[in-house]
Structure 1
Amino acid sequence: AGARVVVADRDLKLARRTVEMIESISGQAIAVEVDVTRSADCAAMVKTAVERFGRLDVLDNNVGIGSRGSVVDLGEDEWRRVMQVNVETMFLVAKHAIPAMKRAGGGAIVNVSSISALRPRGLTAYTASKGAVIALTRAMAVDHGREGIRVNCVAPGPVYTPMVYAGGMTPAAREKRKNASVLRQEGTGWDIGHAVRFLLSDYARYITGHTLVVDGGTTLTAPERDSQ
């Protein structure tokens, strides 16, 4: 509550929908159309945030695409695309955001990974990219800690989102995902959002370089390649 947020999305309509949600709860928000695979767009996004709100304090780096197949099955272009979207974008946004945070006296960053980085299930490019996000998080935490900037990571487990729904997940598949959790529950976007908010807040002032797993205990059980 009370946050001033820049909602960045490639789809401006979706960004505006999120702005409406934020403003209905309590807060200020603006929507910007950004392609985070482009360094110039990332720089412009940070500039907009600082010009509109005076400073940049926190960043939630949350973008990604999926991919299936082993190293033998994957096309080289698909591999490069997954790495670009899932890893390089976080590098680019942070590259432009960190100097602004430093000028403001510090800040906090959360990069979003996945439990696939901790428990591979046959999604080779996706798994590798999300593992790279965890490594990038730790490196950034070391590099920028003395500048007053904390960098952490959230690794979501099975979460039911509009993207999953649009992918045509069947009720049977959803039930299987629930049963893979020791809590026998399915996560929501709110569960991930609450974890991100905690790590970005002053309650996490002494936490950096950490990966917070938000999966209902899914990683405590034996993996199933077809659980997603």
Structure 2
Amino acid sequence: MVNDVLFNGAGRLIPHRMAEELPMPGSPPRSARFDGRVVVVSGAGSRDERIGNGRAAAILLASAGARVALLDRDRDRAQSTARMVAGGGGTSIVLEADVSEPDCCEAAVKEVVAQFGSVYGLVNNVGISSPPGTAVDVDPDEWDLGMRVNVKSMMLLSKYCLPHMIAAGGGSIVNVSSGAGPPGGPPSLLHPTAKAAVIGLTQAMARQHGRSGVRVNCVAPAGERGGWDTGHAVRFLLSDEARWITGVVFPVGAGGLSPPPGAPQDGPVQPDGA
């Protein structure tokens, strides 16, 4: 049996309760199936019938056997996602919640545990791009709102999900940032600042909770490559196939290039064709 260790986001080895004996050469890969594990997805709805990041992640996770809790402040949007999940034979529940509010997050997680019995995974997907403006002209109150929705919401849901993951021996969290985070992004000051904060949050949490068997990673979509592409990245990072991966920023954006000719575009298509 090998030592129970895992590389953290800083490249240092730390003990890991979920570590297992390394497979011998030629052994089959770990499963991408979730087999009834419970995953909470915030921002699980999308405008009209489009496939946003949260909706895509929820559908793909359910198609891989996860039981998915669909959180959104707009119940109708989450219900639309639930119908898509059911259409693929998946299992989900819908919870209306403003995840920027502590009481709402605590109540939502309690309800997930009451209905499903546990929490294995969390997809922190909620975010807004407003307010516009530079440091000179941005509205301070709108700035506070943007940081509360984009960053505080991820801390809050993690706060209430983590105890259940730790008690179960481990789990996995994926935070959705943006390709606009690290380099500075668009003229709006709030959006790249908040998304960069999500990356810092991810890497700090990966170091803090790795010893408890919880992996924390970040997906950074860029350009037009959201939706199904982001959903596939989220599903991979949550799965056992990524069991040695934590503290990483996973870019989804074709290297910042335009999609190649013939690449599938986001829309109401079947996930298997994405």
Give the shorter-chain TM-score range.
0.7 to 0.9
SS at match of 1:50: helix
Structure 1 residues 48 and 85: alpha-carbon distance in aligned structure 2, compared to 1, 3 A threshold: same
Cα RMSD, aligned residues only: 1.3
Distance 2:257 2:190 in 1: 19
Question: Of the candidates 223, 235, 244, which is equivalent to residue 197 of structure 1?
Answer: 235
Question: Of the candidates 170, 183, 188, which is equivalent to residue 123 of structure 1?
Answer: 188
Identify the residue that residue 161 of structure 2 maps to in structure 1: 97
What is the CA distance between 1:216 and its match in structure 2? 1.6
* Structure with more contact order per residue of length (Cα contacts < 8 Å, sep ≥ 6): 2
Distance 1:191 1:72 in 2: 36
Question: Of the candidates 203, 226, 231, which is equivalent to residue 138 of structure 1?
Answer: 203
SS at match of 1:63: coil
Structure 1 stretch displaced more, 83-92 or 63-72: 63-72
Normalising by structure 1, report the TM-score. 0.82
Identify the residue that residue 215 of structure 2 maps to in structure 1: 150
> How far does the alpha carbon of each residue in 1:81-110 deviate from its partner, in whole angstroms, 9 at most, with x for none?
111110000011100010011122210000
Structure 1 residues 41 and 148: alpha-carbon distance in aligned structure 2, compared to 1, 3 A threshold: same
Question: Of the candidates 48, 68, 77, which is equivalent to residue 111 of structure 2?
Answer: 48
Normalising by structure 2, report the TM-score. 0.68
Identify the residue that residue 40 of structure 2 maps to in structure 1: none
Distance 2:87 2:66 in 1: 12
SS at match of 1:136: helix
Note the 1:1-228 alignment, pairs <5 A.
1=63, 2-67=65-130, 68-119=132-183, 120-159=185-224, 187-218=225-256
Count, aligned residues: 193
Distance 1:81 1:103 in 2: 33
Structure 1 residues 188 and 154: alpha-carbon distance in aligned structure 2, compared to 1, 3 A threshold: closer
SS at match of 2:218: strand
Q: What code does the residue aligned with 1:75 have?
A: D
% identical equivalent positions: 49
What is the CA distance between 1:25 and its match in structure 2? 1.6
> How far does the alpha carbon of each residue in 1:168-202 deviate from its partner, in whole angstroms, 9 at most, with x for none?
xxxxxxxxxxxxxxxxxxx2411110000000000
> How far does the alpha carbon of each residue in 1:11-32 deviate from its partner, in whole angstroms, 9 at most, with x for none?
1111111111111123200101
What is the CA distance between 1:35 and its match in structure 2? 0.7
SS at match of 2:118: coil
Asked whether the equivalents of residues 115 and 219 of structure 1 are also in contact (C-alpha less than 8 Å), the reply is no
SS at match of 1:23: helix
Structure 1 residues 80 and 189: alpha-carbon distance in aligned structure 2, compared to 1, 3 A threshold: same
SS at match of 1:158: coil
Unaligned runs of 5+ in 1: 160-186, 221-228
> How far does the alpha carbon of each residue in 1:62-99 deviate from its partner, in whole angstroms, 9 at most, with x for none?
00111222111201111111111100000111000100
Runs of 4+, deviation exceeding 3 Å: none
Distance 1:190 1:219 in 2: 17
Higher helix share: 1
What is the CA distance between 1:219 and its match in structure 2? 7.4
Asked whether the equivalents of residues 156 and 215 of structure 1 are also in contact (C-alpha less than 8 Å), the reply is yes
What is the CA distance between 1:129 and its match in structure 2? 0.5
Q: What code does the residue aligned with 2:136 have?
A: V
Asked whether the equivalents of residues 116 and 127 of structure 1 are also in contact (C-alpha less than 8 Å), the reply is yes
Distance 1:129 1:188 in 2: 18
